[in-house]
Structure 1
Amino acid sequence: MNDSSVRVLVPAGMLGAGFPPETVERGLALGADVIAIDGGSTDSGPHYLGSGTPKTARAAVAADLRILLNAAARARIPLIVGSCGTSGTDGGVDWVAGITAEILAEDGLGLTVATVYSEQSPEPLAERLAAGAVRPLPPMGELEPGTLRECTHIVGMMGHEPIEAALRAGAQVVLAGRATDTAVAAAYPLMRGMPPGPTWHAAKIVECGGQCTTDPRAGGVFATIDHDGFTIEPLDPTVACTPTSVAAHMLYETADPFRMREPAGTLDVSAADYRALDERTVRVEGSRFEPAEQHTIKLEGARISGYQTMSFSAIRDPRILGQIEDWAALLRKVLADRVSRTLGLAPDDYAVDLRLYGHNAVLGELDPASGPPREVGVMLLVQAADQATATAVAKVANPLMLHLPTADMAYLPSLAFPFSPAETERGPAYEFVLNHTVDVDSPTALFRTEYRKAAADA
């Protein structure tokens, strides 16, 4: 199979984010050969991988899927979803597959669905680690076998190959576990014989839907990949792609704006040329792809780091706000003294994170602003080995966050708790502990695929 071009419709940057239905219709009218959309990310932190839960609402995912499944069925083109359920765990794949099955049954769509699972077991990975096949990515250090066993979930980040294999086996809908954002859009064009340089570059540009356009809120994008390069345009006819907006996306989530590693090799766009074909369409040529000598799969894993309780209060007192850093330091000191005296806890038994929103909670010392703020929200986050300890520390802090005066105040100020109770138990906290690669002999070896045929209603 080797076509002159392949057209990829990417309706949004993530399943469940929503998109105007008419933009998908326009993509079909332009002759889309495949619909591709990412289903998740690690952007929102380790909780979703560690807990195996999605960050998106079921109703939002179902609404997007209904539009896309019906569009794919009418146009008789494949639909590919990657990193299902946010982090690509097996449970996340099954969650999206369950929603898909409901829609297929309700709408009478007889489509073959492939579910590609990416979750990994610790023991086989420990064997690969012992054989020297697992290496850290910065800033991680060498991996200990015990860390693998502490992970609540581990996923391998697949490239395009498992997705392509499912398509070749006859799948009309591919629901993949953890995958590179680019693999979702690259799999079908590569299967159809498009060259890897333009294909991987186009896939990188479209990974976040309309983010490479002049209005990311307007929907997705449409890429046409051929043997010399690719063109890209927004699905909304009132929005534009420009050479700057397209080229700028190579800066997004990459350590090097000219080179990006995939499991199968490295994309090199250092010689790429971006030019406007008209006021809203961009042509890109000159992208290259360097195959890797060793195929690798990135591993992601998270474990429970403790349990958290949060408390929040607000300060408007100008006297405190004029010396807010001193007040925060005093709060930390008094809290530590009281926790030691009343709970008998040592400093190593718990951790306190105090953030001053409205002052420096986001940038910290990098913030160049000077002068007292008008109001500050004080967020106290306590973490301990168990929930009861974290909550006990937060309760000790309660009167301090409500009435702690500065050293020069002759009265007790009244600050403000927005909630009652003031303490909110956040449950287990997770941390990423795997950012490593594992050498594989086959790009599909770590992944498992199942097929389900939905019978259309008569």
Structure 2
Amino acid sequence: MRESKILATCTLGLGFSYNGFRNGLDLAPDLIACDAGSADFGPYFLGTGKLQKSKETLKRDLRLLLQGARELAIPFITGSAGGAGARPQLDALADLVREVAREDGLNFRMAVIPAEVSRERIRNALHSGHLAPVGSVTPLNDELLAATSAAVAMMGVEPFQAALEAGADVIIAGRATDPSIFSAVAIRAGLPAGAVWHAAKCIDKGYLATTRPQDGSPVLATIDESGFTIVPTREGSVCTVKTVAGITLHENSDPFRVVQPTGMIDTELSRYEQIDDRSVRVTGSRYIATEHPTLKLEGARRVGFRKLLIAGLRDPRLLERLDEYMDAYRAAIARAARSLGFQPDDYILNFRAYGRDAVMGPLEPLRDQVGHEIGFVVDLVGKTEAVTNALASRLGPTGSRLDIHGRMGGGGNFAYPFSPSIIDMGAVYEWSLWHIMGIEPGELTSLFPIEMEDV
């Protein structure tokens, strides 16, 4: 019976069990793969091109993964390089791969696959009606598109397949859908698409498919003609029906359907079975292809510069009248802004009261049950660094000395945990692109040119 084995770790740079990984190699996988990024951290990393993880943690994981893949002469694939899959992050991760290969004496054929999409291509889709927003995002126009500092598309499995056909041993790709990173080898082996795609979805977060993610166990998916089996490779780690079925729901609004560029993973008829103490068998999964492929676009634009003030508030008089206090605080900063010649739309000022309603905001049902102290975050975003710097210098003195109708004041309201009390967060980005773009079938590969090299 034909089968294909995929050894998966969690996100590159998060670490994984060394012993579990070595055990996985002993099970003769056909592919080692992991994803390397996520949009969970917001648009900052896409906008700046900075790596989400440190080079030290990335190199630790890369060294083990590359050594293991070369030891077995099997491919290693990762996508969404560096966090957001932008070109600067892709180049930085490829440089780390070259560095590890040089230090360890490894030789292989490497494919680097960028995910950038030109503004012209996006503009054409916008004006031809082939671009649709996902959820509630700012409506896209030419001005907003021109202000976008970075734009990527989430590639599907096709560029990975093309790189393997070109002889790649190692594939470092830009932004990609998570399951596509894990699917290429098994699809090339001719295994059923439903089993391949669903297995890829179940292992794309590695040890999150186990009962104890903190143990860092890699997982091995064995895909065959009738379904797939998932087992953790670290001794003592366990996969259950609950954990495997649960990971299918991860980052997905529909409990049964996961959209990909060329179709949809359909798990409504999937059956999960605990076949032993550690392993789960899944059958009945389907992949429903579409005639009209699409790509998810992500883009970031800079909207300003942020500084934070964090303080502890414990004065019961202030906590009793916190909304009144925040209104007075906001008004005082507005007066300061006017005195400096700033306009109301030159800055945004937000307050977060941790211990009252900072997490859920107006939806917090226990908002009136304020404890004896709160963590108070003052969040200032100015259009320019000059605006942010000027108003940030007023945040501490204004808030700590603020008097409400003669009942408070004198400078004792704020307990600062840090010095300096103002924290510089740098540039602020928002999602300018969070859209689905309709494409021609040939663009599944042509939009993602493959750069081959011998390392």
Please classify the TM superposition score into its range, dividing by the shorter chain length: over 0.9
Q: Which residue of 2 aligns with 1:436?
A: 435
Deviation track 1:179-215 (CA, whole Å, cap 9, x = no partner) reads 0011111121111111110111111111111112111
Report the equivalent of 1:296.
294
Match of 1:337 in 2: 335
C-alpha root-mean-square deviation of aligned residues, in Å? 1.7
Quote the Cα distance in structure 2 between the aligned partners of 1:303 and 1:378: 28
Give 1:124 shift. Answer: 2.9
Judge conservation of contact 2:21–2:234 (CA < 8 Å) in 1: no
Task: Report the Cα distance in structure 2 between the residues aligned to 1:237 and 1:367, rounded to whole angstroms.
Answer: 43
- Deviation string for 1:237-269 (max 9, x for gaps)? 212111111111222111111011100101111
1:96 to 80, 93, 96: 93
CA distance in 1, matches of 2:429, 2:36: 21
In structure 1, distance between residues paired with 2:67 and 2:86? 26
Q: Which amino acid aligns with 2:431?
A: F
Q: Is the 8 A contact 1:73 1:109 kept in 2?
A: yes
Counterparts of 1:197-276 in structure 2, within 5 Å, are: 197-219=194-216, 220-276=218-274
**Alpha-carbon shift at residue 131 of structure 1 (Å):** 3.2
Match of 2:107 among 110, 113, 118: 110
Q: CA deviation at 1:410?
A: 5.5
1:260-300 CA-to-partner distances (Å, cap 9, x unmatched) read 11001011110110111011111000111111111111111
Name the CA shift for 1:267/1:410 in 2 (closer, same or farther; >3 Å).
closer
SS at 1:102's partner residue? helix
Match of 2:64 among 67, 89, 94: 67
2:28 aligned partner, one-letter code? G
Question: Does 2:284 correspond to 1:282?
Answer: no
Q: Counterparts of 1:63-212 in structure 2 under 5 Å?
A: 63-140=60-137, 143-212=140-209
Comparing 229-238 with 74-83, greater Cα deviation is found at 229-238
Describe the superposition over 1:275-334 as per-residue Cα deviations: whole angstroms up to 9, x where unpaired. Answer: 110111110001111111111111110001112222222212222223323322221222
Conserved 8 A contact 1:387-1:425: no
Q: State, as a whole percentage, how many aligned pairs show the same letter.
A: 37
Per-residue deviation at 1:431? 0.3
- AA in 2 matched with 1:407: H
Letter aligned with residue 318 of structure 1: P
Of 224-233 and 371-380, more deviation after overlay is shown by: 371-380
1:445 counterpart letter in structure 2: S
Residue 449 (structure 2) pairs with residue 451 (structure 1): no
CA distance in 2, matches of 1:337, 1:94: 47
Secondary structure of the 1:426 match is: strand
- Residues 105-114 or 137-146, more deviating: 137-146
Matched residue SS, 2:159: helix
Shift in Å, 1:335: 2.3
Q: Secondary structure at the match of 2:67?
A: helix
Partner Cα separation in structure 2 for residue 311 and residue 260 of structure 1: 40
What residue number does 2:314 align with? 316
Paired position in structure 2 for 1:418: 417
Letter in 2 for 1:400: T
Given residue 429 of structure 1, which amino acid in structure 2 is its aligned partner? V
Which stretch has the larger CA shift, 228-237 or 130-139?
130-139
Cα distance between partner residues in 2 of 1:87 and 1:16: 14
* Structure 1 range deviating more: 344-353 or 283-292: 344-353
In the alignment, is the contact (CA less than 8 A) between 2:402 and 2:409 conserved in 1?
no
Query: Do the aligned partners of 1:80 and 1:173 also contact (CA within 8 Å) in 2?
Result: yes
Give, in angstroms, the shift of residue 142 of structure 1: 5.1
Give the structure 2 partner of residue 34 of structure 1.
31
* Residue of structure 2 in register with 1:399 after alignment: 397
In 2, the alpha carbon distance for the partners of 1:85 and 1:75 equals: 25
Change (3 A) 1:130 1:372: closer
SS at match of 2:196: helix
Alignment size in residue pairs? 450
Q: 2:15 matched to which residue of 1?
A: 18
Distance 1:427 1:352 in 2: 16
- Aligned AA (1:49): L
Does the CA-based 8 Å contact 1:309-1:387 persist in structure 2?
Answer: no
**In the alignment, does 2:354 pair up with 1:353?**
no
Indicate conservation of the 8 Å contact 1:391/1:425, yes or no.
no
Aligned residues of 1:201 and 1:267 also touching (Cα < 8 A)? yes
- Deviation of residue 408 (structure 1)? 5.4
Contact 2:297–2:434, Cα closer than 8 Å, also in 1? yes
1:375 equivalent to 2:376? Answer: no
Q: Secondary structure at the match of 2:379?
A: strand
What is the deviation of 1:435? Answer: 1.4
Residue type of the alignment partner of 1:353: N
Equivalent pair of 1:37/1:184 in contact (CA under 8 Å): yes
Q: Which moved more, 1:120-129 or 1:149-158?
A: 120-129
| TM-score normalised to structure 1 length | 0.94
Name stretches of at least 5 consecutive residues in structure 2 with no aligned partner.
none
- CA distance in 2 between partners of 1:100 and 1:84 (Å): 11
